[in-house]
Structure 1
Amino acid sequence: MQHLGIIPDGNRRWAKQNKLQTVIGHQTGGSAVKAAINACLEQNVKYLSIYTFSLENFNRSESEKEYLFKLIPEECKKTLPELIEKKVRIKFIGDKNYFPKSVTPSLVELEEQTKGFDAL
């Protein structure tokens, strides 16, 4: 397999079913993405596309969006060293301008810091 596409969906539903806070669902979803990256590297999959934030997500409650917009830069910063170590390139497709100005720099940095890699 050369290319795997994933649409992570159901983080909130999973959290509710397990009687956990929604934020735990989002954190667990982030862990699942990292696991997918590692699995692709192990299986020599060349491309991984992850559809992570649709325009519909901007219709969520203000508190949930606020949490997500705080989580995204934190996860980018935390994940970057491992992506560099594993030579994983990150390319965001879509309009980053929908995100608050506090989020966009971390997305741009991930792309810039990994643009020369090709392990995945």
Structure 2
Amino acid sequence: MKELIDLSNLPQHIAVIMDGNGRWAKRQGAARVFGHRNAIKAVREATEGCAELGIKHLTLYTFSTENWGRPKFEIDALMQLLVHTIRAEIPTLTENNVRLTTIGDTTSLPRACRAELEEAIQLTEGNTGLNLILALSYSGKWDIVEATKKLAQQVKNGTLTPDQIDEDLFNQALATEGIANVDLMIRTGGDHRISNFMLWQLAYAELYVINDVFWPDFRKPHLWEAILTYQGRERRFGKISEQLVK
């Protein structure tokens, strides 16, 4: 399937809602945390698959602002898992020339998580391949509110006037400053919603929902299929077919 992909028509930025860990674990008769632990291979497969193709950016919806409302024992387990996973994956990231970055309110994360993240970001910052973005304590609404605050502060300081604010300026104020907007969003688990994820950046993304696969079972062939579907779609960005340059 990989050989069918047109390398001249790749999405620059793929975003993934990694859904279904809890339901996957329930099918195994296990606790939700068991699903999170078994999702690490899926993360590795998605990352390596994007790196192999030359995708520029991969954003994984790792932990939303709403996830803080989950039971404390699940949050604690998730944070511990995050620390151990980042530590273990640094050699693999480097081997695949992957640079790790984050978006979100990372100041709200436990100190150990922040320390591991900062170390991994520093150790991989020289890598020039895929930019792997972990959305941590992130939501689309949070991102838009924070961007609005930044611009409002500039107006208050007298360095910006309201009339100067346009889409480009707002893009620059978002957490994804300097990163292309999302071309393809993949969601596992079958739910057809974007769950407060990158609301601005997803404005013209192609959506691909995998109905019969939970995230722990996601593998490279699922990625290939999503990209092939993306390449078969006509992206009009509000125009009509006849206006597109062939």
- Give the TM-score, by structure 2 length: 0.47
Structure with bigger helix share is 1
What is residue 105 of structure 1 aligned with on the other side?
115
Tell me which residue corresponds to 2:56: 46
> Of 29, 34, 53, which aligns to 2:39?
29
For residues 10 and 18 of structure 1, what CA distance do their matches in structure 2 show?
13
Q: Please identify runs of 4+ aligned residues in structure 1 that moved more than 3 A.
A: none
Partner of 2:105: 95
- Which structure's residues are more often strand, by fraction? 2
Quick check: 1:118 aligned with 2:128? yes
Determine the structure 1 residue equivalent to 2:176.
none
Q: Deviations over 1:45-101 (max 9, x none)?
A: 121111111011111111111111111110011001111121100110111111111
One-letter amino acid matched to 2:120? L
Q: Secondary structure at the match of 1:52?
A: strand
Q: Distance in 1 between matches of 2:122 and 2:59?
A: 18
C-alpha distance in 2 between matches for 1:20 and 1:118: 39
Number of matched residues? Answer: 120
Q: Return the offset for 1:15.
A: 0.9
Considering only aligned residues, what root-mean-square deviation do their CA atoms show, in Å? Answer: 1.2
Larger Rg: 2
Distance in 1 (alpha carbons) for counterparts of 2:22 and 2:124: 30
Amino acid of the structure 1 residue aligned with 2:90: L
Whether the 8 Å CA contact 2:100–2:121 is kept in 1: the answer is yes
Q: Which residue of 50, 57, 68 maps to 2:78?
A: 68
Q: Distance in 2 between matches of 1:114 and 1:102?
A: 18
Unaligned runs of 5+ in 2: 1-9, 131-246
Query: Offset at 1:9?
Result: 1.4
Residue in 1 aligned with 2:196?
A: none
3-state DSSP of counterpart to 1:37: helix
Are 1:7 and 2:17 an aligned pair?
Answer: yes
Counterpart pick for 2:92 among 82, 96, 99: 82
Distance 1:16 1:94 in 2: 29
- Distance in 1 (CA, whole Å) between partners of 2:51 and 2:118 is 23
Which of 30, 34, 59 is the equivalent residue of 2:69?
59
Structure 1 unpaired stretches of 5+? none
SS in 2 for 1:31: helix
